[in-house]
A and B are shown apart, each in its own frame.
Chain A
Amino acid sequence: MPNNRYQHITDAELLNQFYADHDNAWLGILLERYTLLLLGVCMKYLKNEEEAKDAVQHVFLKSITELQKYKVEYFKSWVYMVAKNHCLMKLRGKGRWHKEINETVMKTVDETVDKKEYVAHDHSLQQMELALEKLNPEQRQCVMLFYLEKKSYQEITEATGFTLLQVKSYIQNGKRNLKIMLERSHAHE
């Protein structure tokens, strides 16, 4: 990859560089990081390779023009929203999405910040064990196999007899429930 030498620079730093000198080359580097992900998202919604590739080009163009106009804090969530909105509008037929996108997307907050702050709280082991006990059996089984025994999705489906889709949702929901329970116990302290 040609832009490997920028690997150590974070998205936020690249954006700041762009806001400082308005050189689109920074956006080129930034957008390239997400090409594959954007292609996947567009493919998921549009279910057609050619349309998906077209949509990615639209997202690139849109990003280059929109980022000149206003400041974006969390590029990753922003560009994900741009892609999703573009695909949904496309599916809905031709519509006016220009205004809409600015309004919805500007409000996008980065979920990972919330998560990172959360990590800072050190949960005691007992709390975690208690919370694990309270999960329903399917979720507990999948969460333990996945996080503690580091089994892959595939291995978990084989071990439990659940479908791949079930395994994914048990892990996802199990983790979310753990988080909610720990937050609650934290609030009670």
Chain B
Amino acid sequence: MHMSKELNNILNNREKPIDQQALLDYLNNQLAGAELHDVEKALVDDPFLHDAVEGLQQMSPIQLQHHVDNLHRDLQKQVARKKTRKNKRRFKDQPWLYLAVMVFLLLVVICYWVMHRYM
């Protein structure tokens, strides 16, 4: 019986999260049928999604993609910045590198001094 399968499915939660496009379509009232039901089922089970939809419904739906794009751009900058900072720290963690630089500078100074003196 078809109904019985549905009956047992009431307590099952969907495994796959709702993707961003489906959510945007939902907010734009562009979903119907099974796709709409999928999102609404997830809304019952997922407090994060539920809160988010409540907030997003207060915003202009056509602007949302734009906001997301901007936030992603900033995020990528953050991620890149943190990476360079980490690289700098790594440089500090390697004392031999410091030593090599010092020795090299010392050599330059000595060369300069020798040349200046004997030439």
B6 within 8 Å of A (CB atoms):
yes
Interface status of B71 (Cβ within 8 A of chain A): yes
Chain A nearest Cβ from B31, distance in angstroms = 9
A36 and B20 contacting across the interface, CB-CB below 8 Å: yes
Partner of A153, one of B12, B40, B59: B40
Q: Decide: B45 and A43 in contact? CB cutoff 8 A.
A: no
Q: Is the CB of A41 within 8 A of B44?
A: no
B75 to chain A: closest residue by CB? A60
Q: How far is the CB of B79 from chain A (nearest CB, A)?
A: 4
The closest CB in chain A to the CB of B15 belongs to: A116
CB 8 Å contact bits of B54-80 with A (1 = contact, 0 = none) = 111011000010011011101110111
Residue of A nearest to B83 (CB): A24
Q: How many residues of B contact A (CB 8 A)?
A: 49
Q: B94 an interface residue at 8 Å Cβ cutoff? A: no
A44 to B57 alpha-carbon distance, docked (Å): 9
A residues 140-189 touching B (CB-CB < 8 Å): 143, 146-148, 150, 152-153, 168, 171-172, 175, 178-179, 182
Q: Which of A43, A143, A171 has the most CB of B within 10 A?
A: A43
Pick from B4, B40, B45, B56: contact of A39, CB below 8 A. Answer: B56
**Contacts A27-B79, A43-B55, A43-B56: A37 and B48 contacting too (C-beta < 8 A)?**
yes
A residues 35-72 near B (Cβ < 8 Å) are: 35-45, 47, 49, 52-53, 56-57, 60-61, 64
Residue from the list A52, A64, A143 in contact with B78, Cβ < 8 A: A64
| A36 to B4 alpha-carbon distance, docked (Å) | 36
User: What are 13 A-B residue pairs whose CB atoms fall within 8 Å in the complex?
Assistant: A24-B86, A35-B20, A36-B24, A36-B68, A37-B48, A39-B71, A40-B56, A53-B70, A56-B71, A115-B13, A125-B4, A129-B7, A182-B11
